[in-house]
């Protein structure tokens, strides 16, 4: 009913006009100028406003509403009697396809579980010592740092899942593991800082070294003393053997610290074209 939506007084006008039109059907043929007995336009219905007049507002928000006559509310309700769709059971849904190589998988220890069991978490070794890292190259330390970052991310993800899903014990193991990773990261920073400070001191030392040319023109290093031809080749073979052995030993353990270099090695002992297997830094 359209007139129920507008104000009841206007609805009353509509009823009057429709009733008048129904009863006086023959007369409407005579007078064609006026179809409604009353004007229903709002502009004409509006009362003349004089200064100080009451406003024409309807202050009763629930006018016309009645529970007995089941009028309902004056505003339109957002309900409908359409049948709701039923959810499909989880078993009938197609499997969710995921990218097996997605990078986010690396936030988990494995793909089956969200968090490692405490027994699994407790299986870890000791942290790297600074002395072991002193012999690693910059690239190795850089990559080891990111391996540590990823491990910490994994631990943090498991912690978050453990809290969220209330999985129970395992926090102590995760924290202990995390502490060991952070010890490794601290050792990396220690080794790199130490290396940088030593390099700074060595540059100062090289400024007064007649063998070293720091200007950038010409070779940076001009050795002063040479060995004889026969001596050099003998020393070269010996040195190559030593380096090969050292490289093998380093690959076997991957953590074995190489022996500390001699304090003043003879520069001529190592030939010019000698490729360093894994350049052990200071």
Partner 1 sequence: MQPTRVLQALRYRRLRLTTKDVNKGFYKGTRTGSMGRHTKHGGYIIDWNKVRTYVCPSLEGFKLTPFVTRNMPRTFGRYETKLGPKDPEMYLARWKAENGLD
| Pick 171 or 194: Cβ nearer partner 1 | 194
Given a contact cutoff of 8 angstroms between Cβ atoms, the answer to whether 40 and 14 are in contact is: yes
Among residues 221, 233, 242, 248, which is the contact residue for partner 1, using CB under 8 A?
221
Q: Does 238 bind partner 1 (CB under 8 A)?
A: no
| Pick 156 or 279: Cβ nearer partner 1 | 279
Nearby residues of 269 by Cβ (< 8 Å), 6 or more positions away? 227, 235, 239
| Pick 12 or 176: Cβ nearer partner 1 | 176
Q: Does 146 bind partner 1 (CB under 8 A)?
A: yes
What is the CA 240 to chain-centroid distance, rounded?
Answer: 49
Given a contact cutoff of 8 angstroms between Cβ atoms, the answer to whether 278 and 247 are in contact is: yes
Per CB under 8 A, contacts with partner 1 among 99-138 are 124-129, 131-132, 134
Question: 212 by DSSP, 3-state: which?
Answer: strand
| Pick 7 or 107: Cβ nearer partner 1 | 107
What is the CA 253 to chain-centroid distance, rounded?
Answer: 36
Looking at residue 52, the DSSP 8-state letter turns out to be: T
CB of 177 to partner 1, least distance (A): 9
| Pick 16 or 246: Cβ nearer partner 1 | 246
Contact flags string 181-200 toward partner 1, x per CB under 8 A: x--xx--------x--xxx-
CB atoms closer than 10 angstroms to residue 154? 21
Question: 264 by DSSP, 3-state: which?
Answer: coil
Contact flags string 33-52 toward partner 1, x per CB under 8 A: --------------------
Q: What are phi and psi of 221, to 5 degrees?
A: -130, 125
Given a contact cutoff of 8 angstroms between Cβ atoms, the answer to whether 212 and 224 are in contact is: no
CB atoms closer than 10 angstroms to residue 222? 10
Q: Considering only 46-54, 60-68, 143-151, 158-166, which stretch makes contact with partner 1 by CB under 8 A?
A: 143-151
Per CB under 8 A, contacts with partner 1 among 148-187 are 148, 151, 180-181, 184-185
Name the packing angle between helices 171-207 and 138-165 (round to 10°). Answer: 160
| Pick 77 or 263: Cβ nearer partner 1 | 263
User: How far is residue 220 from each of residues 137, 163, 235, 263, measured CA to CA in Å?
Assistant: 22, 59, 24, 21
| Pick 12 or 149: Cβ nearer partner 1 | 149
- Can you give the binding site for partner 1, defined by CB under 8 A? 124-129, 131-132, 134, 139-140, 142-144, 146-148, 151, 180-181, 184-185, 194, 197-199, 201-202, 204-206, 209, 211-212, 219-221, 223, 253-257, 260-265, 267, 269-270, 272, 274, 276, 279, 281-282
């Amino acid at each position: 009913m359209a007139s129920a939506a507008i104000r009841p007084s206007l609805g009353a006008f509509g009823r009057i006009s429709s009733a008048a039109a129904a009863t006086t059907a023959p007369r409407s043929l005579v007078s064609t100028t006026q179809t409604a007995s009353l004007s229903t336009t709002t502009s004409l219905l509006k009362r003349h406003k004089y200064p100080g007049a009451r406003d024409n507002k309807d202050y009763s928000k629930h006018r016309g509403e009645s529970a007995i006559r089941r009028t309902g509310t004056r505003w339109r309700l957002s309900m409908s009697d359409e049948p709701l769709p039923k959810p499909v059971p989880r078993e009938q849904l197609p499997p969710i396809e995921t990218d097996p190589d997605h990078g986010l998988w690396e936030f988990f220890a494995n793909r089956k579980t969200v968090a490692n069991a405490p027994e699994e978490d407790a299986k870890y070794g000791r942290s790297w010592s600074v002395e072991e890292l002193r012999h690693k190259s910059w690239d190795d330390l850089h990559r080891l740092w990111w391996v540590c970052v990823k491990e910490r991310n994994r631990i943090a993800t498991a912690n978050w899942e453990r809290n969220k899903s209330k999985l129970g014990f395992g926090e102590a193991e995760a924290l202990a593991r995390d502490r060991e990773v952070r010890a490794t990261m601290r050792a990396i920073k220690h080794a790199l800082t130490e290396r940088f400070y030593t390099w700074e001191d060595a540059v100062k030392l090289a400024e007064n070294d007649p063998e070293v040319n720091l200007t950038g023109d010409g070779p940076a290093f001009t050795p002063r003393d040479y060995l004889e031809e026969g001596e050099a080749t003998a020393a070269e073979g010996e040195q190559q053997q030593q380096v090969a052995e050292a490289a093998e030993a380093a690959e076997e353990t991957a953590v074995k610290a190489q022996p500390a270099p001699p304090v003043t090695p003879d520069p001529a002992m190592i030939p010019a074209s000698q490729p360093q297997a894994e350049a052990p830094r200071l």
